[in-house]
């Protein structure tokens, strides 16, 4: 009797715990099982003087349980009031401020309330938003603004249920100063208007991290029937040339994994402080101008962001612990697009560089952070943005492809996207789908990849003759061969950006000043206009203490803010006392021009105190 009572108690406690757990999302206070947001209407004024977005967010609710409140995430927002449809004010409470997460906002809902309007202003320090002065743009004529919401920064400019597990449609009315144009991750204008008021609509339901806005002196040019480019006037021509293959990429992607579901696919080139290579904002990829190499050699980034239109935007990771479902699938899909446009030889070269990078990064990561299924509870989801989600994810899927055979695998993947379109999925959901639908899945060592560290033995190898030849060139150069003889012996004039990347990386961290001078005299690396080559060259220059490249280093670190380039360079600088001094001196000048995503990382690298 006694023991059964005890059992009863334990069981009911467990139940209560589970019910609470079910609501407990890793990085959001939202309780979508009770009340979720199904549509958002933004009405915002963009004020460059005060660096504030001011106005309102009206949310339409799906109330799954009566008597329950609406829980929203906010960070740094000044809330003026909350009203219902009739304009009556509603009571709300704000939770304690938490680092990274911000505050919970609980809005009480009486019976019959299906929409709520939050009147608010964002803070000038909102982490998602970068406000650029005219001097910080390419053309230096007008101010510019852009947002970066992924992973949990949407809450710094829009009150929302900031979890990738909730989807909503949205519309917006944005008022901007004269001479500027606004674009969003939605239906977009192609020309400026005189009123400065722009209206937007996103009819497909999206998670909050895909909310995006850019405002600036923008021009548009078409690339094909359903794609085009936005950029500042002086960048547009170069951008259009570089993205020539975009329409073919869309066609190739559709042929692989089904129709493009977002109507148009456009790309906007942002000023160079954009902290990422690209961001897959639906209908409008945000891109860094550092891929404008002048030879179309860095367009894999466009293939990547386009691929997210399926992996990520259509089928979304449920939580940031499942981030590999977004990025690993996207790297896989990107590779397939590249292969289909440029051939297997070329795409294998890219795959090999990816594998090298992954192995390198594995040495630096904590064991637990090398599982595909991450555990980011209590941490910033940014910590999950490593080569694991991207490249271990890629090789896991490539292993599945190789074991299954391409034909069956492609049919499987296509059905994955079709069956789960506009849904958010967990890693476990994917593994169940594999067990149920992928022939021969039982014999595949899935668990070791997803719930285990490092690179399992079943990881495919990538052998490419192209790069073997480059390695030979590097090793002969480190021996007796003169830089001036490299061209004749290894046909370096046919080398692509990727050959050069591999060559420079194969030289290690340090070479003699003589060798550096030879290389520089022969190939003019210090003057290179290619960001990827410049980055690798400067890494070598820091390691080799090669003074003639140090002005270029300062210039590169000040003129662009892409974290992927900044972080390794500052890290290498911080390895010696002299380097650290130089790094800090450069950072003092460069920091005001960086986006918060980049300063967040570099502050830590340099031990920077504000
Ligand atoms: N979605 C990511 C960028 C991102 C991830 C932003 C996590 C914030 C949090 C985007 O698709 C991406 O992966 N960009 C890469 C380029 C790509 C070719 C690997 C980048 O910016 O380097
Ligand atoms: Zn991505």
List the domains of the chain with CATH numbers: 5-126+156-184 (2.60.40.1730), 315-463 (1.10.390.10), 466-606 (1.25.40.320)
Residues bordering ligand 2, an ion, CB closer than 5 Å = 327, 330
Integer Cα distance of 265 and 283 in angstroms: 5
Give the per-residue pLDDT at 2.
45
Give the per-residue pLDDT at 399.
98
Integer Cα distance of 273 and 482 in angstroms: 38
597 CA → ligand 1 middle, Å: 12
Give the per-residue pLDDT at 338.
98
Q: Is 139 exposed, middle or buried (0-12, 13-18, 19+ CB in 10 A)?
A: middle
Integer Cα distance of 580 and 112 in angstroms: 61
Residue 151 preceded by cis peptide, ω within 30: yes
pTM for this prediction = 0.96
Task: Mark the ranges of the chain whose per-residue pLDDT is less than 70.
Answer: 1-23
155: nearest Cα among 309, 301, 305, 27: 27
Give the per-residue pLDDT at 23.
63
Kindly give the interhelix angle for 550-559 and 577-590, rounded to the nearest 10 degrees.
Answer: 40
337 CA → ligand 2 middle, Å: 14
Burial 34-50 (b: 16+ CB within 10 A, else e): bbbbebbbbbbbbbbee
Classify 72 as helix, strand or coil: strand
Question: Ligand 1, closest atom to CA 275?
Answer: 21
Name residues contacting ligand 1 (CB within 6 A): 150-151, 276-280, 301, 304-305, 308, 327, 385, 564
**Tokens of residue 31, six digits:** 């309780």
Is the CB of residue 346 less than 8 Å from the CB of residue 338? yes
Closest CA to ligand 1's atom 14: 278
Is the CB of residue 388 less than 8 Å from the CB of residue 324? yes
474 CA → ligand 2 middle, Å: 31
Question: Ligand 1, closest atom to CA 331?
Answer: 19
For residue 291, the ligand closest to its alpha carbon is 1
Is the CB of residue 388 less than 8 Å from the CB of residue 370? yes
């Amino acid at each position: 009797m006694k023991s059964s009572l005890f059992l009863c108690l334990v069981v009911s406690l467990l139940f209560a715990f589970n019910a609470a757990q079910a609501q407990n999302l890793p990085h959001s206070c939202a309780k979508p099982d009770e009340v979720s947001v199904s549509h958002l209407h933004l009405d915002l004024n963009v004020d460059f003087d005060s660096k504030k977005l001011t106005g309102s967010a009206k949310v339409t609710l799906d109330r799954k349980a009566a008597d329950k409140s609406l829980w929203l995430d906010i960070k740094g927002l000044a809330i003026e009031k909350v009203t219902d449809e009739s304009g009556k004010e509603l009571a709300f409470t704000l939770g304690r401020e938490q680092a990274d997460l911000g505050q919970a906002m609980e809005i009480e809902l009486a019976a019959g309330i299906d929409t709520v309007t939050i009147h608010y202003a964002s803070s000038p320090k909102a982490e998602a938003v970068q406000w650029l002065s005219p001097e910080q743009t390419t053309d230096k004529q007008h101010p510019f603004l852009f947002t970066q919401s992924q992973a949990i920064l949407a809450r710094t400019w829009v009150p929302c249920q900031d979890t990738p597990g909730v989807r909503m449609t949205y519309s917006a009315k944005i008022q901007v100063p004269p001479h500027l144009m606004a674009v969003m991750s939605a239906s977009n204008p192609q020309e400026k208007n005189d009123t400065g008021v722009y209206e937007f609509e996103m009819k497909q339901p999206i998670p909050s991290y895909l909310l995006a806005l850019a405002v600036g002196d923008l021009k548009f040019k078409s690339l094909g029937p359903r794609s085009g480019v936005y950029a500042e006037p002086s960048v547009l021509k170069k951008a259009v040339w570089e993205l020539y293959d975009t329409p073919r990429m869309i066609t190739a992607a559709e042929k692989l994994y089904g129709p493009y579901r977002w109507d148009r696919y456009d790309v906007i080139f942002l000023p160079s402080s954009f902290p990422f290579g690209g961001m897959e904002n639906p209908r409008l990829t945000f891109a860094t101008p550092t891929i404008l190499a002048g030879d179309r050699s860095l367009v894999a980034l466009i293939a990547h962001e386009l691929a997210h239109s399926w992996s990520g935007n259509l089928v979304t990771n449920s939580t940031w612990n499942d981030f590999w479902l977004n990025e690993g699938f996207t790297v896989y899909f990107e590779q397939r697009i590249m292969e289909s446009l440029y051939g297997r030889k070329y795409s294998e070269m890219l795959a090999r560089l990816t594998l090298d990078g992954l192995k390198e990064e594995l040495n630096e990561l904590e064991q637990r952070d090398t599982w595909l299924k991450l555990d980011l509870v209590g941490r910033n989801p940014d910590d999950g943005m490593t080569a694991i989600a991207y490249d271990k994810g890629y090789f896991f899927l490539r292993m599945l492809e190789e074991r299954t055979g391409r034909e069956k695998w492609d049919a499987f993947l296509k059905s994955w996207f079709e069956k789960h379109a506009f849904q958010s999925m967990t890693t476990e959901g994917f593994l169940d789908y594999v067990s149920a639908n992928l022939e021969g899945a039982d014999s595949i060592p899935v668990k070791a990849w997803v719930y285990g560290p490092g690179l399992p033995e079943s990881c495919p190898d990538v052998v490419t003759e192209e790069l073997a030849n480059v390695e030979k060139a590097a090793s002969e150069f480190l021996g007796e061969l003169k830089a001036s003889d490299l061209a004749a012996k290894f046909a370096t004039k046919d080398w692509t950006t990727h050959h050069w990347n591999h060559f420079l990386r194969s030289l290690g961290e340090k070479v003699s000043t003589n060798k550096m001078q030879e290389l520089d005299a022969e190939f003019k690396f210090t003057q290179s206009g290619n960001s990827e080559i410049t980055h690798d060259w400067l890494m070598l220059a820091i390691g080799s203490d090669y003074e003639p490249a140090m002005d270029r280093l300062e210039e590169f670190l000040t003129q662009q803010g892409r974290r992927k380039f900044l972080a390794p360079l500052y890290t290498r600088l911080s390895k010696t006392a002299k380097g650290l001094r130089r790094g800090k001196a450069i950072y003092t000048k460069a920091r005001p021009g960086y986006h918060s995503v980049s300063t967040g990382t570099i502050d830590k690298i340099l031990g920077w105190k504000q």
